[in-house]
Structure 1
Amino acid sequence: MTFGSISPLEKVSARDRIARALRAAIVSGQMEPGVVHSAPSLGVKFGVSATPVREAMLDLVREGLVEIVPNKGFRVTEIKESDLDEITEVRLLLEPPVVRKVTAIIPDEDFPELRALAQDIVDGAVAGDLVSYTEADRLFHLRLLSYADNGRILNLVSDLRAHTRLFGLTSLLEQGELEGVAREHFGIIDALESRDPDAVERIMRDHISQTRGRWAHPSDGERPSGQG
């Protein structure tokens, strides 16, 4: 398991950087549900002491992503299929109409930044780095929502994404399909830049539906006929 999204140059605390990388590893399925991880062993992977890892893990405990196992460490919490269905349903209610609403107000000068964020997702896919891929995807979607200037929506969607599980990412990577999925983000940007709210909402809806269609299922030799 790698934590490619960690960078010592970022101007955030080690605790926050580690929490973000762990969160992405949980979402991407790199840290599997039910598995116990100790702070010292994770500290070795990050090249830090156990203290910031333990602090980061306690943040994730408060978010419901891991639970404390006395005298052993932290266990990634299980997520039921019904939980994933509910998360996707709420995201579909929120994100497509919100991004549709901001289509007309995104400044022209911001599109290079948005394309750079989309490219980060592609780069993570090409590198086979699921942690970096997941974190870049999170940043991209939250950036789009930020134009609505509604902190409650931003926080809610961020929390929903943290509780999503994309177990199918490994299968997509192994089948050579993850890069194509990553490039779908450029389609969202193209629709936004064309100021086409109908297309934006449609593409966003299809894109989020993939979470349940082809991403969130564990690899079992079959790929679900995904939506989007």
Structure 2
Amino acid sequence: MPKYNLKPIVKEETTKERAYKEIKSAILNGYISYDEIFTEVQLAESLNTSRTPIREAVQDLIKEGLVIAIPRKGLTVRKITENELEQIFMLRISIESEVIKKLTGMISQKQLEELKQICQDQEEAMNNDEGAVFINLDQNFHLTLTRFASYELVEQVLLNLHDLSTLIGLQAVKRKNRMNEVLQEHLAIIEAMETQDPEQAARRMIEHLRLTNKSIKLQEKGETS
């Protein structure tokens, strides 16, 4: 076959894809709160683009359950109910405990080092009081475990669940000492994997997720009390 010396075409992001990422990031990082109403026009002006890509991006966010439309008013960030939160963590505990058990028997030293690096980055974010960065790294930690286990379909499910819980998780990690607790819980999970103890790793993951759920509930009660 002849060599044409052609370089592969790298697909550039569309305006709609860039708008989607920017809006989603603003929501998950808490820059757009669930108690404010905003419009496509405001988003378009902020991103200096037309309304068409904004409308398409917003429709994707509505489908994902991150944004809801209020007739004749605009858009708002979805507020997660207590019942939904219970379901999110029920699913996460069921799924992630099984993922960690499978992974513990096959994880490499290089992969363990990657997880430790995420924890180091979390420690840096904690010391700099960067809650949004810490939350993003937390999501990365959990999704990296699923990626290492080669569970692509599970990763997609977890990504949606993480996004929903992140809507109210930012303030929860800012609760006194919670970031340090999360960091230590992650390190304990890594330690169990290093000793190749799948049951212990699963127990530590379950405890970590239960404590995270409890922290979010405490934050919600604080806001509504």
Normalised by the length of structure 1, the TM-score is: 0.75
Write out aligned runs for 1:1-228 (5 A). Answer: 14-15=18-19, 17-25=21-29, 31-39=32-40, 48-51=47-50, 55-69=56-70, 73-165=74-166, 167=168, 169-170=170-171, 172-173=173-174, 175-221=176-222
Name the residue aligned to 1:8.
none
**How big is each residue's C-alpha offset from its partner over 1:11-53, in whole Å with a ceiling of 9 and x where there is no partner?**
976335414513523xxx66433421345656787xx425566
Identity in percent: 27
Q: Cα distance, 1:126 vs. partner?
A: 2.6
- CA radius of gyration, larger in: 2
The structure-2 alpha-carbon separation of the partners of 1:16 and 1:116, relative to structure 1 and needing over 3 Å to count, comes to farther
Mapped to 2, the partners of 1:160 and 1:135 lie a distance apart of: 14
Q: Residue 164 of structure 1: SS of its match in structure 2?
A: helix
Q: Which runs of 5+ in 1 are unaligned?
A: 1-10, 223-228
Mapped to 2, the partners of 1:50 and 1:130 lie a distance apart of: 29
Kept after mapping to 2: 8 A contact 1:106/1:147: yes
The structure-2 alpha-carbon separation of the partners of 1:180 and 1:20, relative to structure 1 and needing over 3 Å to count, comes to same
The structure-2 alpha-carbon separation of the partners of 1:210 and 1:64, relative to structure 1 and needing over 3 Å to count, comes to same
Query: Residue type of the partner of 1:49?
Result: N
Q: Cα distance, 1:153 vs. partner?
A: 1.0
Kept after mapping to 1: 8 A contact 2:132/2:170: no
Q: Cα distance, 1:60 vs. partner?
A: 1.2
Question: For this pair of structures, how many residues does the alignment match?
Answer: 207
Name the residue aligned to 1:225.
none
Mapped to 2, the partners of 1:108 and 1:207 lie a distance apart of: 23
Mapped to 2, the partners of 1:172 and 1:139 lie a distance apart of: 15
Mapped to 1, the partners of 2:122 and 2:187 lie a distance apart of: 10
Kept after mapping to 1: 8 A contact 2:99/2:146: yes
More helix by share: 2
Q: Which runs of 5+ in 2 are unaligned?
A: 1-11
Greater alpha carbon shift after TM alignment, 100-109 vs 170-179: 170-179
